[in-house]
Amino acid sequence: MDVICKFDGYNLGYHTLLPGDDYQWSATEKGVYYCRATWVNKIVAWHGYEPLRDASHGTIFWLAKDDGIFLSYDKSSYVKVADWETE
């Protein structure tokens, strides 16, 4: 899976992730981070960080599964935030 995140025009770079891989970065609390992932013939986009949603949490966890992208603040309970689409 290829992932890219951007903030205020700054590109955090493309990352190719294998199953079980992590991709970590630190966010400023002032803006929205936009992320996009491609996997085989699927694509998904989501807000990797939103100040109003995420600022009160120290760490944000994202999980990519066959049926979408999921968010967690405790790495145990996840909520789906985006669905994969076919390219």
Number of Cα atoms under 13 Å in the Cβ half of residue 72? 10
Q: Mind listing the pLDDT tens digit for each residue in 9-63?
A: 889 889 999 988 888 888 877 889 999 999 999 999 999 999 999 989 888 999 9
Write out the DSSP string of 24-57.
Answer: -----TTSPEEEEEEETTEEEEEEEE-HHHHTT-
Residue ranges per domain, the chain? Answer: 2-86
Does residue 71 sit in helix, strand or coil? Answer: strand
Length of the chain as a residue count: 87
Query: Which pTM was predicted?
Result: 0.87
Q: pLDDT value at position 42?
A: 96
